[in-house]
Amino acid sequence: MILDHPTSPAAGTGRSLPANDLSRRRFLQAGAAAGGGLMLSLSLPFANGDAEAANADGFAPNAFIRIGRDGQIVLTMPYVEMGQGTYTSIPMLIAEELEVDLKQVRLEHAPPNEKLYANPLLGVQATGNSNAVRGAWQPLRQAGAIARTMLVAAAAKRWNVDPASCRAERGEVLHAPTGRRATYGELAAEAAHMPVPESVALKQPEDFKLIGTPAKRLDTPAKVNGTAVYGIDVRPPGVKIATLAQSPVFGGRLKSVDDAAAKAVKGVRQIVRLDDAVAVVADHMGAAKKGLAALKIEWDDGPHAKLSTEDIARELEQATLKPGAVAQNIGNVDEAMASAVTKVEATYQVPFLAHATMEPMNCTVHLRKDGCEVWVGSQVVARVQAAAAKTAGLPLDKVVVHNHLIGGGFGRRLEIDVVVRAVEIAKHVDGPVKVVWTREEDIQHDMYRPYWYDRLSAGLDAKGMPVAWNHRFAGSSVIARWLPPAFNNGLDPDTTEGAIDLTYALPNFHVEYLRVEPPGIPTAFWRSVGPSHNVFVTESFMDELAAAAKQDPVAYRLALLDKSPRAKAVLELAAEKAGWGRPLPERVGRGVSLQFAFATYMAHVAEVEVSKDGAVRVRRVVCAVDCGTVVNPDTVRAQIQSAVIFGITAALHGEITLKDGRVEQANFDTYQMLRINEAPAIEVHIVQNSEPPGGMGEAGTSAIVPAVTNAVFAATGKRLRKLPIDSAQLKAV
């Protein structure tokens, strides 16, 4: 268990530190850019140390900063913008140390190359796990400082003065005593020949000019006037539009298709039959959808024809009766449990969930004999290239991928099934084809947040405080499929996050995980991944312990946080701002949750009203967050507002169920989203400090859910151990 999270003394404190703690040469190289100017090549930490990607001296760069003769600074990195503000936050890090306006830095999306552009914390080319700013925080500021030092050195040499008498400001080097000045663009070519400094001093937080300011998002203007181009908007010349029906049961096959009526639809060009899907290719999506509706399709449902969610839940429940892989063990739970005065037991369940990104799944492919072009919005562009190459039977270098803005990722666009499908269809089509999934296909052929089943027990001492905590859970490991090397000894760091790293002082603590892959339904990452499940369970159970001890839920938690000052501080702040303890009307309650995940501390207080017929309305949410150094406070607020809505949507409405092997939900009538009339007021309070930045894109989603269900308990006395919230249980008697 991590009681608090000490960081290395150098990290994020702004002290002078070497350009690279281990070997500067392996972290950064400088040279002349093509077309003149200064090029810095960076090797961000933890990336795949692939020998092929490294050049002769063992240097494997995965990010590039180019300062051109025009003074434009271009950063090439593998992160994608999907609404989380990365395209603004990442350039801020460089601009801060380089002493340029944010406007001068442009972030270009990296072309696919798994070896070069691996995400420092994931080891593959992906945007996910709320780690863009976390991974880039230290190296990009160092790179900015190194580039600035080299530009100053170039100016000093040109003017034959001491570099210490020069300073950098707003994209220029100035020599105050003589009033001389030169722009970075003018100095870039000469700077490329300056020695790379052995060490650079990073700014103290109090000297930050950009970091910590609410910088305007750079991607917004095009998104309010209709000119932003998402994957679904691409229109290569001659493109046809296809839509498809895939086997409604996972693992089923296409038996037969009568396409006579579909072919008669005006604008329909072609029907494509695949082993387990059929597609209609047309001049426009209207014709393609009309053609699809006119098809008479027979499916062979295959082995999962009778599968239901209840079958899967029962299998998971049975699995938790046996021991699993030990994910955490502190003290001796068995002994402590035997000596406990009170024992509390509970089981919890969370459902499959779809991503339901607003931009439905789509991918455009132009397959020729000698090459393949792919247009898509993806969180994993190198995997897109590899999947297209494999499906098309082409070498990797014959596949060109154009990545686009993403109309919602949430983990869905970390998968490449949509690309494989599109290439399979493109094999039958002359010219480019855009494959657009209907919303029904998008919901019914998602790859889902796993179903999990949890079994917990705790022992309390005479004062009601926990002396033993035992937690065992079963469900799918997405990591085991998606990143197999990270799955070891029956465990992965993602599935257990939020279960094994509680901030509370729990002297005897034991957690086991059982990997059980459900048949007939694929699983995938979903915003806030492991914590999306674990934090609901652990924070609900902590509330149960407080209730069993007849203590106030906030006071009970605070008593366990003496060794975790950052966690304690956010909990106290959220409770204070929410007016914790103030009287509320009947059937209105406040609930609390505390979370440490994605290297961020967060506490929520939710205020919930339960109507007589059991309908739950979240009226107000107060969030206190400590995510270390805040790069862009407006983005932090926006991400919490967003994540809270996402989490409440899941708590109130989110559930994918199977019947006869088929997903029962299909569109926004049966898979409902929270709407503006249901959205609570959300207050965000940020704790200021200079710790390294924590992740922000996902934390709020997992943290809000138990605050809501704990508030329902406060309002009604009903403990909710299964999601989504079942209003039928909450009717006034």
Partner 1 sequence: MPYSIKVNGVVRTVDVDGDTPLLWVLRDVLGMTGTKFGCGMALCGACTVHMDGNPVRSCITSIDSVGTAAITTIEAVGKTPAGQRIQKAWLDLEVVQCGYCQSGQIMSASALLAGNPHPSDGDIDDAMSGNICRCGTYVRIREAIKQAAQSNG
Is residue 357 at the binding interface for partner 1, with CB under 8 A as the rule? Answer: yes
Which H/E stretch holds residue 73? strand 73-77
For residues 601-614, one letter each, b for 16 or more C-beta atoms within 10 angstroms of the residue's C-beta and e for the rest, the string is: bbbbbbbbbbeeeb
Is residue 439 at the binding interface for partner 1, with CB under 8 A as the rule? Answer: yes
Compute the 3-state secondary structure of the chain and give helix, strand, coil in percent, each to the nearest 5.
30, 25, 45
Please list the residues that pair with 330 across neighbouring strands.
Answer: 509
> Among residues 63, 287, 340, 514, which is the contact residue for partner 1, using CB under 8 A?
287
Is residue 358 at the binding interface for partner 1, with CB under 8 A as the rule? Answer: yes
CB nearer to partner 1: give 409 or 694: 409
The pair phi, psi for residue 300, each rounded to 5°, is -95, 110
Is residue 290 at the binding interface for partner 1, with CB under 8 A as the rule? Answer: yes
Site for partner 1 in 495-524 (CB under 8 A): none
Is residue 237 at the binding interface for partner 1, with CB under 8 A as the rule? Answer: no
> Among residues 122, 147, 380, 406, which is the contact residue for partner 1, using CB under 8 A?
406
Contact 698, 643 (CB under 8 A): yes
Please list the residues that pair with 273 across neighbouring strands.
Answer: 278
Q: Total residues contacting partner 1 (rule CB under 8 A)?
A: 65
CB nearer to partner 1: give 437 or 536: 437
> Among residues 15, 103, 170, 235, which is the contact residue for partner 1, using CB under 8 A?
235
Only one of the segments 8-16, 38-46, 68-76, 280-288 lies at the binding site for partner 1 (rule: CB under 8 A); that segment is 280-288
Which H/E stretch holds residue 686? strand 681-686
Strands 466-475 and 509-515 turn out to be parallel
CB nearer to partner 1: give 15 or 284: 284
Helices (H) and strands (E) in the chain, counts: 18, 30
Calpha distance 43→61 (Å, rounded): 4
CA 37 to chain CA mean position, Å: 35
Contact 372, 401 (CB under 8 A): no
Is residue 312 at the binding interface for partner 1, with CB under 8 A as the rule? Answer: no
Is residue 228 at the binding interface for partner 1, with CB under 8 A as the rule? Answer: yes
> Among residues 109, 148, 217, 445, which is the contact residue for partner 1, using CB under 8 A?
217
Shortest CB 674 distance to partner 1, Å: 7
Shortest CB 619 distance to partner 1, Å: 13
CB half-sphere exposure, 386, CA atoms < 13 A:
11
Give the helix ranges, DSSP H, for 549-698: 553-558, 565-578, 633-653
CB nearer to partner 1: give 140 or 621: 621
> Among residues 638, 650, 711, 723, which is the contact residue for partner 1, using CB under 8 A?
638
Only one of the segments 67-75, 104-112, 217-225, 592-600 lies at the binding site for partner 1 (rule: CB under 8 A); that segment is 217-225
> Among residues 51, 164, 462, 676, which is the contact residue for partner 1, using CB under 8 A?
676
Is residue 229 at the binding interface for partner 1, with CB under 8 A as the rule? Answer: yes
Is residue 461 at the binding interface for partner 1, with CB under 8 A as the rule? Answer: no
Contact 363, 404 (CB under 8 A): no
CB nearer to partner 1: give 220 or 488: 220
Calpha distance 638→101 (Å, rounded): 23
Is the peptide bond between 112 and the residue preceding it cis, with omega within 30 degrees of 0? no
Only one of the segments 31-39, 53-61, 272-280, 287-295 lies at the binding site for partner 1 (rule: CB under 8 A); that segment is 287-295
Find tokens 């088929």 and name the residue: 662
Q: What is the token pair recorded at 707?
A: 């605050």
Is residue 359 at the binding interface for partner 1, with CB under 8 A as the rule? Answer: yes
Shortest CB 677 distance to partner 1, Å: 4
Calpha distance 1→539 (Å, rounded): 16
Only one of the segments 58-66, 121-129, 282-290, 329-337 lies at the binding site for partner 1 (rule: CB under 8 A); that segment is 282-290
> Among residues 17, 361, 479, 643, which is the contact residue for partner 1, using CB under 8 A?
643
**Residue 542: which of 606, 608, 592, 612 has the closest Cα?**
592
Is residue 450 at the binding interface for partner 1, with CB under 8 A as the rule? Answer: no
Shortest CB 229 distance to partner 1, Å: 7
Classify 350 as helix, strand or coil.
strand
Is residue 98 at the binding interface for partner 1, with CB under 8 A as the rule? Answer: no
Amino acid, res. 85: G
Is residue 283 at the binding interface for partner 1, with CB under 8 A as the rule? Answer: yes
Calpha distance 228→247 (Å, rounded): 33
Which H/E stretch holds residue 180? strand 180-183
Shortest CB 600 distance to partner 1, Å: 18
Site for partner 1 in 530-559 (CB under 8 A): none
Only one of the segments 99-107, 190-198, 404-412, 417-425 lies at the binding site for partner 1 (rule: CB under 8 A); that segment is 404-412
> Among residues 117, 137, 184, 410, which is the contact residue for partner 1, using CB under 8 A?
410
Is residue 294 at the binding interface for partner 1, with CB under 8 A as the rule? Answer: no
Is residue 409 at the binding interface for partner 1, with CB under 8 A as the rule? Answer: yes
| 501 Cβ contact partners less than 8 Å away, ≥ 6 residues apart | 1, 2, 328, 596, 597
Calpha distance 255→277 (Å, rounded): 10
Calpha distance 542→471 (Å, rounded): 12
**Residue 317: which of 471, 457, 450, 473 has the closest Cα?**
473
CB nearer to partner 1: give 133 or 168: 133
Which H/E stretch holds residue 540? helix 529-548
Only one of the segments 90-98, 250-258, 309-317, 674-682 lies at the binding site for partner 1 (rule: CB under 8 A); that segment is 674-682
> Among residues 286, 484, 565, 717, which is the contact residue for partner 1, using CB under 8 A?
286
Amino acid, res. 427: K
Residues at the interface with partner 1 (CB under 8 A): 82-85, 216-217, 219-221, 223-230, 232-233, 235, 241, 265-267, 283-287, 289-290, 356-360, 405-410, 436, 438-439, 634, 638, 641-646, 649, 667-669, 673-677, 679, 681-682
